[in-house]
Chain A
Amino acid sequence: MTAGFLVASAFLASAVEFVEALTIVLAAGITRGWRSSLAGLGAATVALAAIVAALGPALTLIPIDALRLVVGALLLAFGLQWLRKAILRASGYKALHDEAEIFAREQADARAAGSEQRAGLDWYAFTLSFKGVLLEGLEVAFIVITFGSAQGSIGLAALGAAVALVLVAIVGIAVRGPLTRVPENTLKFAVGVMLTTFGIFWSTEGAGAHWPGDEASLPGVLAFVILLSAAAIATLKRRRQPAFA
Chain B
Amino acid sequence: MNHIRAFGLFWWDFVVGDDWRAAAGVLLAIGLTAALVATGLDAWWLMPPAVAAVLALSLRRASR
Interfacial residues, chain A to chain B (CB-CB below 8 A): 69, 72-74, 76-78, 80-81, 83-84, 87-88, 91, 93, 135, 138-139, 142, 196, 199-200, 203-204, 206-212, 221, 224-225, 228, 232, 236, 239
Chain B residue contacts of A142, Cβ below 8 A: 14
Taking the nearest CB of chain B, how far is it from the CB of A240, in angstroms? 8
- Per the bound structure, the CA–CA distance linking A199 and B58 in Å amounts to 17
Chain A residues whose CB sits within 8 angstroms of the CB of B51 once the complex forms: 76, 80, 196, 200, 225, 228
Nearest A residue to B44 via CB reads: A209
* Residue from B27, B36, B38, B59 with most neighbouring chain A CB atoms (10 Å): B59
Nearest 7 interchain pairs by C-beta: A208-B37, A207-B33, A81-B17, A207-B34, A209-B44, A77-B23, A204-B47
B48 touches A236 (CB 8 A): no
Smallest Cβ-Cβ distance to A205: which chain B residue: B44
Contact among A73, A74, A88 for B59, CB-based, below 8 A: A88
Using A209-B44, A232-B59 as known contacts, list a sample of 17 further A-B pairs with CB atoms less than 8 Å apart, ordered by residue number in A. Answer: A74-B15, A77-B16, A80-B51, A81-B16, A83-B55, A84-B62, A91-B63, A142-B14, A196-B51, A203-B26, A207-B30, A207-B37, A221-B48, A225-B51, A228-B52, A228-B55, A239-B63
Main secondary structure of the interface of B (DSSP, over half): helix
Indicate if the CB atoms of B47 and A200 lie closer than 8 Å: yes
Q: What's the interface size class on B, roughly?
A: 20 to 34
A77–B33 contact, CB under 8 A?
A: no
Chain A residue contacts of B31, Cβ below 8 A: 207
Closest to A236 in B: B63
